[in-house]
Chain A
Amino acid sequence: MNKRDFIHQLWRYKRGSISRRQFLGATGLGLASTVLATTMPELAGPRRAFAGELGDKVALTSWPSYHDENNFKAFTEQTGVNIELAVFGSNEEMMAKLQAGGTGWDVFVPTNYTIPDYVSQDLLEPLDTSLIPNFDASAYETRFTDAGTVDGKLYAISKDWGTTGYVINGGKITDPMATWKDFWDLSMTKYTGRSMVHDYQLTTIGNALKYYGYSFNSIDPKELADAEKLLLAAKPHLFGINSDYKPSLLSGDAWASVAWTGDALQLRRDMPDIRYILGQEGGEIWSDFYAVVKGAPHRAAGYALINFLTDPAVNAKEVLFHGYPTADSRTNALLPKELLEDPIMYPAAELLAPLEFGAAGLITNEARAEIMARFKSA
């Protein structure tokens, strides 16, 4: 079976056209895993015997459409630990909960630029890598993993990375769009009432700043004032302000939205017409991480979960589901070539070059927070 057939079968399985049993049969994976499990039992991961130490649950806080449920099921089968998943739409909201305390979270998924702030507020536990044997730092592309280390200590392990661009429904919008200026200008004129932006200050303000060619990370008062002016002018023309924009695009209510890599890829499965555009002016490149909350009530289970998700075979399934590229070369070796060449996941070098990683301190910046709040309540 070649890779194309494999992917074809995999998507049929994902879409529910064939059952798990048929999928395993058609691809030969069922036989392969049975053979592996009997000949090399250690591959099947920690035994149930560990269940006593790990407890019966772990609280994971993450983002929408970001994990393959089948991986979670497999984790529960192997360890007896149930995953309680909570989903958030912004880093601010995660930080607000952690600052208030008493979250009961064990593992969560922060974005690169927030980690120094979490560390300085003493909210993260320095990771004990002996509990994450699947993690191999040398396998990762360092520019996506650097942010996980603060003052020489490892606090977070790379989950995946991506870009923030915008999607447009190619069936409705045929204009050549290539820049953030195009996005905002057309949102306020020809396509009024059809565009969405994130309910998330980093990307919404950042991409408004790009309209003027300013840095995505600017905290300059004059530049922020310009961005606010644009946001307030655009507000009456927007369809909505929501980080969960896929349903509105799928229903045809919205035709364009600020979007992340994986959401664009997920949308394309149902809407082949969707186009993902990275503004030529630049914008955001980011990486997400797994981190353990200080004082996590199910610490051992939390480490077990991170270890499980860091397993390249598991991570490959995650990537096939969520559509975000990973920085782990071992995982990439397991992924089909089509995916590794996908222009949404791996944009052209000239589009990637001007992108910026979010800057430390932005998450706690009062001016940006207040601009976002004023924009929303305008």
Chain B
Amino acid sequence: MRNATGPSPLLTAVLLAPGALWFLGLLVLPLGVVIVFSFGERAAVGGYQAAFVLDNYLNLPARWTAFKNTLVLAPIGTVVCLIAAYPLAYFLAVKARPETRTALLILVIVPFWTSFLIRTYAWMFILGGRGLPSLIEWAGLGEVRFINTPFAVLLGIVYAYLPLMIFPIYVSLEKLDKRLLEASEDLGASPWRGFMQVTLPLSAPGAVTACMLVFILLMGEYLIPQLLGGGKVFFIGNALVDLFLQSRNWPFGSAVAVSLVVIMLATVSVYMRFAGRIGGARDVSLV
């Protein structure tokens, strides 16, 4: 029971403090440092030297290819993930028998029990010359190359992010009120039309969330292009690692990082506005 005026302001402040400090100390302040650094100069031996110049931002076109690779492969990866994940989530939530569903869900999670790095290394061998390409050649289908190509990176992305896409969609499909489908059937809709007009729109919020989750993570991806791209498929995440660990050009690295955050904010807000129109605001109730 709480009183009519709610908790005291002091209690509210105390309860909010840990979260607020956390964000302030680990998100806002570091971001502030990055922004300050992005206007600085590289010290002679590498690192940061205080200054106020715009050179780092003017030099951004030097990383154009990395931005382009990320901005092309991240959305494609997200869409391929969505196309692969939706039927699977649908099957799990709607078609699978309840007694096998738990086992199947665990199978989706199983890959997480092994380190992501090790699983990506496994892909290096599968896609390398002695893996799939040798099988394809043996079957007489010609000589192919997978490793160190955008295709390998895309495959690694879809493999790695598929579970992240499946779960939000699964949850929204699982919550779906089956009586709505019965109603559509009673009103003469075919199963296909029922799916298109009832299931799909009602699961859209889950899909929208899943896509955003995957897309944001993909924009910062580093490991997959590093291992499966072999230095040939370069994401902005790889450019950032290089700037901090190889060139030790912290100011330029900071400028690239700030630009990435800006691009991401812009993309996501456009996406949210667009996505809100197709599914976010829909709320159907039977009563």
Contacts and interface: CB of A to CB of B under 8 A. Distances in A.
B244 interface: yes
B246 A92 contact: yes
Most A C-beta atoms less than 10 A away, residue of B128, B147, B148, B239: B148
Interface string A350-378: 00000000000000101001101110111
Interface in A192-246: 193, 199, 201, 235, 238-242
A93 interface: yes
Contact of A95 (B44, B46, B230): B46
Interface in B247-266: 247-249
Nearest to A253: B129
B232 A99 contact: no
A240 B247 contact: no
B257 to A, nearest CB: 14
Q: Is the interface of B mostly helix, strand, loop or mixed?
A: loop
A373 B130 contact: no
Interface string B145-164: 10110000000000000000
A239 B65 contact: no
B63 interface: yes
A252 interface: yes
Contacts of A252: 129-130
Contact of B42 (A93, A96, A241, A366): A366
B242 A377 contact: yes
A121 interface: yes
Contacts of A248: 128, 147, 230
Contacts of B239: 373, 376-377
Given A252-B129, A376-B231, A95 B62 contact: no
Contacts of A239: 148, 230, 232
A370 B243 CA distance: 9
A36 to B, nearest CB: 42
B128 A251 contact: yes
A369 B47 CA distance: 12
A125 interface: no
B247 A372 contact: yes
Interface residues of B, number: 31
Chain A residues touching B, majority SS: helix
A90 interface: yes
Contact of A93 (B230, B231, B234, B246): B246
Contacts of B65: 377-378
B103 interface: no
Chain A interface size range = 20 to 34
B45 interface: yes
B237 to A, nearest CB: 11
Contact of A199 (B45, B231, B243, B244): B231
A201 B124 CA distance: 25
Given A121-B45, A369-B247, A376 B130 contact: no
A204 to B, nearest CB: 10
B37 to A, nearest CB: 13
Nearest to A200: B246
Contacts of B47: 99
A117 interface: yes
A364 B49 CA distance: 14
Contacts of B45: 99, 117, 120-121, 364
A242 to B, nearest CB: 6
A65 B42 CA distance: 33
A370 B242 CA distance: 10
Contacts of B238: 376-377
Given A253-B129, A373-B243, A377-B65, A96 B248 contact: yes
Contacts of B275: none
B129 A376 contact: no
Nearest to B127: A253
Interface string B17-52: 000000000000000000000000010111100000
Given A92-B245, A96-B248, A377 B63 contact: yes
A373 B246 CA distance: 8
Given A92-B248, A96-B244, A377-B242, A241 B128 contact: no
Contact of A364 (B44, B231, B234): B44
Contacts of A247: 124, 128
Closest 7 CB pairs of A and B: A241-B231, A240-B230, A369-B247, A253-B129, A251-B129, A377-B66, A252-B129
18 contacts: A90-B246, A93-B245, A95-B46, A96-B248, A97-B245, A99-B45, A235-B232, A239-B232, A240-B231, A251-B129, A253-B145, A253-B147, A364-B248, A369-B248, A370-B247, A372-B246, A373-B247, A376-B242
Interface of B: 42, 44-47, 62-63, 65-66, 124-125, 128-130, 145, 147-148, 230-232, 234, 238-239, 242-249
Interface of A: 90, 92-93, 95-97, 99, 117, 120-121, 193, 199, 201, 235, 238-242, 247-248, 251-253, 364, 366, 369-370, 372-374, 376-378
